[in-house]
């Protein structure tokens, strides 16, 4: 069976549920490929008459907003010990370098770190829990969370769907290449963020002379 024919057999409700579920869990603080799932669903809606791109965007937005809100509540209650436990379970995602990068973003941008963090792979995982840990006022968090979730999910869906419609004939023959491209984009963004995290941690670390002075005081 051709891959496009197989994709067209997938029930629309299962696509919506998968998009909302994966993005919601990622926003809650669990490392999952939310952006890849959203891109794949948007591509699928371009060549699948039964899948509505408006609903893809709506379910993605809902998952992002609800997941971030739950993550905020967990972070607010768990505090710093929660980040330490997550670092032990997911060192590649919640290691000291990643946390340092996320904290610097929050110090610089405040509530807008939640908004802009929605567009960066690792910050999507951190935004909700870290905002709670840092006791950001909930009303500020909620505004940035809703705006970021809607703009990111709706915008991504609209752009990818439009590209899919324009290239529909090509995607019918080579739709799997779109998924491969999405994976490559996701991996590239992760590598960029990891590099920035290392630089942030290095600049945040005290100089050797300062450490020595602190030790003698």
φ, ψ (nearest 5 deg) of residue 130: -70, -35
Alpha-carbon distances of 65 from 127, 130, 147, 214, rounded to whole Å: 11, 15, 9, 43
Best-predicted range by mean pLDDT among 7-11, 44-48, 73-77, 98-102?
Answer: 73-77
Nearest to 43 by CA among 159, 211, 191: 159
Q: What is the pLDDT of residue 110?
A: 78
Query: pLDDT confidence of 44, banded at 50, 70, 90?
Result: confident
| pLDDT tens column, 75-123 | 888 777 776 676 666 666 666 776 777 777 777 777 888 888 888 777 7
Q: How far apart are CA 64 and CA 165, in angstroms?
A: 25
Q: What is the pLDDT of residue 60?
A: 94
Q: What is the pLDDT of residue 89?
A: 66
Greater model confidence, 36 or 205: 36
Contacts of 68 (CB under 8 A, 6+ apart): 27, 28, 114, 127, 128, 141, 145, 149
Q: 106 and 130 in contact (C-beta within 8 Å)?
A: yes
Query: pLDDT confidence of 129, banded at 50, 70, 90?
Result: confident
Q: What is the pLDDT of residue 120?
A: 78
Q: 112 and 56 in contact (C-beta within 8 Å)?
A: no
Query: pLDDT confidence of 167, banded at 50, 70, 90?
Result: low
* Helix and strand totals (H; E) in the chain: 11, 0
Average pLDDT, the chain: 75
Query: pLDDT confidence of 146, banded at 50, 70, 90?
Result: very high
Q: What is the pLDDT of residue 46?
A: 79
Q: Is the pTM of this model over 0.75?
A: no
Query: pLDDT confidence of 211, banded at 50, 70, 90?
Result: very low
Q: For 166-193, what is the mean pLDDT?
A: 57
Nearest to 157 by CA among 41, 67, 33: 41
Q: What is the pLDDT of residue 210?
A: 45
| pLDDT tens column, 18-38 | 999 999 998 887 878 888 889
First to last CA, the chain: 73
């Amino acid at each position: 069976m051709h891959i496009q024919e197989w994709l067209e057999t997938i029930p629309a409700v299962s696509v919506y549920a998968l998009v909302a579920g994966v993005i919601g869990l990622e926003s809650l603080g669990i490392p999952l490929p939310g952006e890849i799932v959203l891109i794949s669903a948007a591509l699928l809606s371009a060549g699948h008459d039964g899948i509505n791109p408006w609903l893809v965007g709506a379910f993605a937005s809902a998952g992002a907003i609800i997941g971030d809100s739950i993550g905020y509540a967990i972070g607010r209650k768990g505090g710093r010990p929660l980040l330490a436990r997550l670092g032990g379970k997911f060192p590649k995602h919640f290691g000291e370098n990643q946390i340092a990068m996320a904290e610097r973003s929050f110090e610089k941008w405040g509530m807008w770190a939640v908004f802009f963090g929605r567009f960066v792979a690792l910050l999507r995982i951190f935004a909700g829990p870290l905002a709670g840990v840092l006791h950001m006022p909930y009303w500020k968090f909620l505004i940035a969370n809703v705006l970021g979730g809607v703009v990111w999910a709706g915008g991504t869906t609209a752009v990818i769907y439009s590209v899919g419609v324009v290239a529909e004939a090509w995607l019918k023959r080579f739709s799997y290449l779109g998924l491969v491209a999405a994976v490559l984009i996701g991996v590239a963004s992760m590598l960029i963020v990891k590099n920035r995290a290392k630089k942030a941690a290095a600049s945040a670390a005290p100089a050797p002379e300062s450490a020595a002075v602190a030790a003698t005081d």
